[in-house]
Structure 1
């Protein structure tokens, strides 16, 4: 709860970056409008206007230098409640070394960029052992699957390592650009059948790039299916700022995604979970802050 007595609102997915620091492999000519630096001073007024109290800061470059930048941002930004850092997940030994080097009290999860690459490696014995270790360290694993094959690989991992908290980002890439439903709806249902999987109510760069414009009404059936499948206790509202600026302002995206949840039947108590309670529990934000009083809360 906040000092005012209302529930703490957490944006479960945002980025900071410096474009000159390192190349962002996902950026193309279609993303020129966000080809600049974005830092805490840019986000702070947006959080205040939207009534968002805290955020989860996500990696956007696969490198050790990115982890160092994230640590510096977190140390200097009181609103950052947790960090999802980078690990080279396909190389278990290298991942352990980087986790020991860079992981600190602010880390609540890990991920790497997967683009549209095959993800059969998730089922290898070395990968399964690594994910069990991530789970034992009380960290979540974030992933951005955009193909049916990737989602199937995530389902197999969730079934093989049920103790791992998996966070599937950006609604598992709904077909906003075509208005279709399948196979996306069935894939989301399969993800939801795994108790260790949670889903972010946000829009990723793949869908944003393909979508000609921000269309709130188009979001509604996908958000409704996510709510029906996962329930509010496994959904997290997230902006994906500044990537979302390709099609919408921060306030517009936050309000429209929240509105889609309310229209789908989410009660005030449900919204309290999706707007913060789920992220707090799934990432262990309050517990992590209590265990490390000097860390951002």
Structure 2
């Protein structure tokens, strides 16, 4: 059976259509529109079969925009916005419309300790999210966030949780703890997976793209999660703050292939894990065998 190559995390947006409060004045390289037609030739050149498109702002209109992007053949799945802190509003948004290629939900949590994850109503919401076949993307970075996400993973074992951007390791500062211990705690839950991608915090702090600085962190999550729970992801167009798409994908792919030399493991990190975690087999075409 062939396994498609999937970029598991990228964005599209039109600047005039949405306010992006996370985008700062020094982010000029991404202060423009990014559409499927811009990415399609880059995907073809890199040998990538399709992508998972992520929400980038917290508002219902974002989901309508994602639904429009889902009509593109390169889009294999969309991860929508969902106000998970408010179960009633979240349920209403889930029922508001049936999104095409809907595979997951996310909202931007920043440094919110997320103590509300212990609420009975919110855990019931996440159980419903799991029943709908949706994953939850999140970036837990503080000790409190790690504790609360870990407890949720244990309480709702059918919920597939995806930690974005390696869990935001301190790559720019050269630190290690508490990040290393936190991702290890999360790894104890088999329903937690990790995206091998670089977040905006690191990209903003770097003076230039530094693949070698990422390698120890990729090695650590590779040891903890294995190929079946790692998803290769570009974070395009945010990654354009420091490098082009081809370089980012080549370098991340190289780091993963340095750790996994078995063809089945390579196929997993470059697409198989994304198919499993997001249930993309509902939408994804067959792709080439990764070797």
Q: Same fold (TM over 0.5)?
A: yes
1:212 Cα deviation after fit = 2.5
The match for 1:253 among 229, 248, 254 is: 248
What residue is the counterpart of 1:161 in the other structure? 156
- CA distance in 2 between counterparts of 1:266 and 1:230 reads 16
- CA distance in 2 between counterparts of 1:20 and 1:243 reads 17
For 1:89-108, list aligned pairs within 5 A.
89-108=84-103
Which deviations, in whole Å up to 9, do the C-alpha atoms of 1:103-134 show, x marking residues without a partner? 33410001111122221111111111100100
For 1:7-156, list aligned pairs within 5 A.
7-75=3-71, 77-156=72-151
- CA distance in 1 between counterparts of 2:217 and 2:48 reads 23
- CA distance in 2 between counterparts of 1:257 and 1:197 reads 20
Note if contact 2:166-2:198 (Cα within 8 Å) is conserved in structure 1. yes
Note if contact 2:141-2:179 (Cα within 8 Å) is conserved in structure 1. no
1:7 Cα deviation after fit = 2.7
Quick one: structure 1 residues 152 and 214, their matched pair in 2 at CA, closer, same or farther if it must change by over 3 Å? farther
Q: How many matched pairs?
A: 285
- CA distance in 1 between counterparts of 2:111 and 2:34 reads 25
Note if contact 2:222-2:259 (Cα within 8 Å) is conserved in structure 1. yes
* Structure 1 runs of 4+ with >4 Å offset: none
1:197 Cα deviation after fit = 0.3
What residue is the counterpart of 1:221 in the other structure? 216
Deviates more, 1:118-127 or 1:56-65: 118-127
1:164 Cα deviation after fit = 0.5
1:228 Cα deviation after fit = 0.5
Quick one: structure 1 residues 254 and 185, their matched pair in 2 at CA, closer, same or farther if it must change by over 3 Å? same
Note if contact 1:13-1:57 (Cα within 8 Å) is conserved in structure 2. yes
Which deviations, in whole Å up to 9, do the C-alpha atoms of 1:153-178 show, x marking residues without a partner? 21121111111100110000111111
Instruction: State the TM-score, normalizing by the size of structure 1.
Output: 0.92
Gapped regions of structure 2 (runs ≥ 5): 286-291
1:248 Cα deviation after fit = 1.4
What residue is the counterpart of 2:183 in the other structure? 188
What residue is the counterpart of 2:288 in the other structure? none
Note if contact 1:56-1:81 (Cα within 8 Å) is conserved in structure 2. yes
Pairwise CA RMSD = 1.5
- CA distance in 1 between counterparts of 2:154 and 2:261 reads 28
Note if contact 2:76-2:283 (Cα within 8 Å) is conserved in structure 1. no
Deviates more, 1:38-47 or 1:104-113: 104-113
Deviates more, 1:89-98 or 1:142-151: 142-151
- CA distance in 1 between counterparts of 2:261 and 2:181 reads 21
Q: Helix, strand or coil for the counterpart of 2:146?
A: helix
* Pair 1:270 & 2:286 matched: no
Q: Helix, strand or coil for the counterpart of 1:46?
A: helix
